[in-house]
Each structure stands twice: as C-alpha cells, then as structure tokens.
Amino acid sequence: MDATYIALAQMAVGGGLMGMAYALVAYGFQLTYAAGKAVNFGQGELVMLGAFAGISLAGTGLPYWVSVLGAMVAGAALGWLVERVAVRLALKQHNEGWILLTIIVGLFALSSVENIWGREDRAFPAPWPTGALDIFGISVTWPELAIAAGALGIMTLVELAKRYTMAGIAVQAVSADPEAAELCGVRSRSAISLSWAVSGAAAAFAGTVLGPVTTVGPTMAAALTLKAFSVAVVAGLDSGFGLLIAGIALGAAENLSGYVLGSGWREAPGLILLILALAIRPQGVFGKKIIRKV
Amino acid sequence: MLNVENLHAGYSGDDAVRGISLQVAEGSCVALVGANGAGKSTLVKALCGLLIPRSGRVSFDGKEITGLPASEVARRGLCLCPEGRRVFGPLTVEENLLLGAYPRLPSFGPFRRAASSDLKHIYGMFSRLGERRLQQAGSLSGGEQQMLAIGRVLMAKPRFMVLDEPSMGLAPVVVKEVFEAIRTLHASGMTILLSEQFARIALAISDRAYIIERGSVVLEGPSKELAKNPGVMAAYLG
C-alpha cells in the first residue's frame, strides 16, 4: 500500500515539474494576448524549433548556456516574425484570420524541421548530473529541477521587466488602452512586436529545458501547443500564478493517468480539461475579454 | 501653428466632419463649441492621428502631419488629452505620468531618475496626484482622473495641447477646478485647442472659437463676440 502511494506521489511530482514547462509556454500566450489580443497557435512549433536550435548549437561545441541563449535569440526572432508575417496582416483587416495563419506558419515550421533535422527524436545534451535527489522518499532528477527553476526564472524575470523598465510599462499601457498609449508617443506596434519576441524566446527556452527530459522530435510540437492552450484556457490569460498552478496540475494529472490507466491515457487529461473549460465557458478563452474591450 | 484645410473625416458611412478649416495661432486658446454629435471629437481624432482623414490637410508648425500615426503626432509636440480621460486604470498614477514622458525616457535605463523633476512639477500643480501617486489610476475619482490625464499630457512637454471634452461626466465644482487649471496653462503660454459642449465656459476661457454644427463650421470669431451673440447662447446654453 505504502509503495503504491509513494509511486503515485512520485508520478505527481515528476509530472508537476514537467507541467511548469507547459505553464511557461502558456505564459507566452498570455504575453502576446495582453499586448495584441492574439496568440500563436504554432507556439509548440517554436518550442520544438528552440530545442532543435539548441541541439545544433551545442553540436558545434558551444557551451550549454551559450546554446540555450542562442536558442532563445532564435525563438525571439521567430516569434517576432510570426507576428509580422501572419498576425499583423489579419488584424489590419479586422478579422480572425490570424488563427489560421499562425497554424499555417507552424505547419511550415514543422516541415522545415523535418527537412533539416529529420523525423527521429533526439537527445538534448545537458550538463546536469545524472543522479537523482531524494526528497522525502521521492526522487527528483536534475533535468526536472532545471525545468522548474527555468520556468520560474523566466516568468519572474519578465514580470520584473514589465514593472521596472519603461519598455515594460509601455507594453502594459498598450494592453490597457492602445490608443491612449499611442497618444503618449508609444508605438503600439513595437510594443506588440516586443511581446511576441519575448513570447518566442520563452517558448524556445521551454524547448531547451524540456529536451533533456522528453527528447526532441517533430511530434512534440502539436502536443505542446494543445497542452499549453489547455493550461491557458483553465487559468485565464491574466495571471502568471494561475498558469503555474494549472500547468503543475495538468502535468501531474497526465503522469497519474498514464500510470493508473495505462500510457495511452497520458494525453487524456489535457483534452478533457480543454473540453470541460470550453463547455463551462462557452464564449471561449478570449470571449469575455473581447466583449469587455469593445 | 496648427492649420486645418477642408478636412473630411468619419468612421463609417457619411462623413462626420464635412470640410472643416481652422487655424490656431501659437500661444492662443481656441475653442470648438458644438452639441454632442456635432463632429468635434471626430475632428480632434483626425487632427491627432487616431483617425485617418478621408481628405483635406492638417499641418503643424508648417509641416504636413495628415494621416501620421498618433504616436508620431504626439512626438512632434501636438498632444491630445482624450475624451473620457483614458487613463491607464491598472497602472499607478505615477506610471501614468511617466508614460506621458515616454519618448524621452530610457526604455531600459533608470527612467524614474530621468523624470523626477518633471514629476515633482506635476505634483506641485496637482497635489492630490502626489498624494495618490502609488494608487491605481482606475481607483481615482473622475476629477482626479481628469487631472491625471492633463498631467500625463504635460509630462510630454507639449507645444500644443488638445483637450477633448474635459468637463465630461464631472461635477460642476470639479469642472470649475479643471478649467481653472486650463486657464493657468494658457496664461503660462501654452497653445490650446479646447473641444467643449458647454459654450459658456468654453467661450469664457478661449480667445477665439469655432461653432460646429453637423460637421461644419457655422460661425467663427473672437470668443467675446460670440458670447454676446444671442443666437449662439440660445443654441448652446451651458
């Protein structure tokens, strides 16, 4: 009996730590939604691209940290690009075409990845010690801890920058009232571009910390978009703290259902969560906010 | 200083502004008077870049600014204090004021230090803003929000201030206070374009005025003369 509980707790903790990466990806949704009322439905592809970029950079012999930083720069550039080529076009015409356009850009990214890096899953090299820590009988590996520390670190850093730099305050002003921000001389398009770049960097970083745990392959992208989306739907797009809670809960639920019901059921909680949330809030994630704005 | 020629503008369907021309000389205070829906706000938005005019010309300081984005117009020193105040509710009073000075503050550097003397100046003018500088702007009263909106524009060190319906939704006592502040600004040499539906108070404070009806100028002249015109006062008693 005891052994079962410990195994369940072990599963919950491991999943919860993974779930913090989902929260980080969902946080990217939150950033772009706040500034420009749009999200990237190809965010999972950015996570995957970030991971592959990190692997390739590390493959050239660059130190781990430099590779991670390089992956983030690539992610920022791609995030910026998605907004420029897909989202801005549709919003200019005042329609919801950005949803489809970001999916298309994501698919394009996916096939590029398959062409450049191939379809096989790869290991992400990380300098963490191989052993596990024992915390009250539950073992926690270093790569899992890196996910938690990285997700918390990035989110904290961005939140601090939003409060304590003028650029961050300007982005907040654009989320609150883009016209009034323009009247202050804030170029709202630049503020939106900035938030897409930060969102892309966060996604790429998530790829570099997830990689050592899950391995990296083209199949990770769609699953991650969906999971992050479930987390964002459940937590709402206002609070970073809510995202963390929802992310941890989803990660834990995935691991537990995989353990109890069988590995085929791992993906079920995310989907069930998404369906439930959409059923309870039929206006969808964004409905309320858009109505409030207009 | 500001020269508008035959401006047409509107949102959808018919033009709300139908061929308005007006001039504002440096250092003067000019009022736009007209009923609700006469087209004053549309005109003001088209001047400041929030709305792209359908035709006509706007020039500021001899340079054409027609159709420039609002952020560029603001950076040239033509700053709008918008209708309904539009303060950033979730941000603090001080953050709102800092945003007014955004173009000249460092994006990632020590911006509070760079703005401290300007902030002190605004808090000297509007002491209640100083008392509430760390409160959320959304929690202020209507009058305080109007002071904040004016303070935010002043932080930009504008050369030309456009005020759109500053009296809207305020109690009479507060309206008096707001206009006292506008009068002081004008006395200190600020060029002002004031859009206001209460004719009496707008004509009392301005040098010249344009009476606007259904998107066109129907009368213009020195405010003192317009205030004596019985037709104007009958139509826009307020």
Task: Note the pLDDT of residue A263.
Answer: 80
Give mean pLDDT, residues B13-17: 88
Distances (CA, A) of A81 to A30, A88, A99, A147: 18, 10, 15, 26
CA distance A187 to A162: 16
Contact (CB<8Å) A188/B71: yes
Q: How far is B197 from chain A (nearest CA, A)?
A: 22
Distances (CA, A) of A69 to A53, A60, A77, A83, A284: 10, 14, 12, 21, 35
Task: Note the pLDDT of residue A1.
Answer: 53
Band of pLDDT at residue A289, cut at 50, 70 and 90: very low
CA distance A183 to B80: 7
CA distance B204 to B186: 13
In this complex, the residue of B82, B102, B111 whose CB is nearest that of residue A185 is B102
What chain A residue is nearest to B48 in terms of C-alpha separation? Answer: A183
Q: For the stretch A28-37, what's the b/e string if a residue is b when 16 or more beta carbons lie within 10 angstroms of its beta carbon?
A: bbbbbbbbbb
Is residue B24 over pLDDT 70? Answer: yes
Q: What count of residues does chain B have?
A: 238
Give mean pLDDT, residues B58-82: 96
CA distance B77 to B157: 7
Q: Which residue in B98, B134, B99 sits closest to B117, CA to CA?
A: B98
Band of pLDDT at residue B16, cut at 50, 70 and 90: very high
Task: Note the pLDDT of residue B83.
Answer: 94
Band of pLDDT at residue A71, cut at 50, 70 and 90: very high
- How, if at all, do strands B208-213 and B191-196 pair? unpaired
Q: How far is B38 from chain A (nearest CA, A)?
A: 22
Chain B (198-227) residues lying within 8 Å, Cβ to Cβ, of chain A:
none
Contact (CB<8Å) A176/B95: no
Q: Which residue in A192, A194, A223 sits closest to A91, CA to CA?
A: A192
CA distance A128 to B30: 70
Distances (CA, A) of B173 to B130, B142, B169, B176, B236: 21, 12, 12, 5, 20
Task: Note the pLDDT of residue B231.
Answer: 77
Contact (CB<8Å) B105/A184: no
CA distance A278 to A259: 27
Contact (CB<8Å) B71/A182: yes
> Which of B41, B71, B119, B146 to substitute to test the interface with A, most A CBs within 10 Å?
B71
In this complex, the residue of A173, A182, A187 whose CB is nearest that of residue B91 is A173
As a whole number, the mean pLDDT across chain A is 87
Task: Note the pLDDT of residue A283.
Answer: 52
Considering chain A, what percentage of its residues have pLDDT values greater than 70? 95
Task: Note the pLDDT of residue A281.
Answer: 65
| Cβ-based neighbour number of residue A69 at 10 Å | 18
In this complex, the residue of A167, A169, A185 whose CB is nearest that of residue B91 is A169
A188: chain B residues, CB-CB within 8 Å: 71
Task: Note the pLDDT of residue A279.
Answer: 81
Q: Is A164 on the interface with B (CB under 8 A)?
A: no
Do A34 and A282 touch, CB atoms closer than 8 A?
Answer: no
Task: Note the pLDDT of residue A133.
Answer: 84
Band of pLDDT at residue A136, cut at 50, 70 and 90: confident
Give per-residue pLDDT as tens, B109-127: 899 999 999 999 999 999 9
CA distance A200 to A208: 13
Contact (CB<8Å) A169/B98: yes
Is residue A286 over pLDDT 60? Answer: no
Contact (CB<8Å) A180/B90: no
Chain B (84-103) residues lying within 8 Å, Cβ to Cβ, of chain A:
86-91, 95, 98-100, 102-103
Task: Note the pLDDT of residue A175.
Answer: 94
- How, if at all, do strands B160-164 and B191-196 pair? parallel
What chain B residue is nearest to A160 in terms of C-alpha separation? Answer: B108
Is residue A93 over pLDDT 80? Answer: no
Which backbone phi and psi does A50 adopt, to 5 degrees?
-60, -45
Amino acid at B226: L
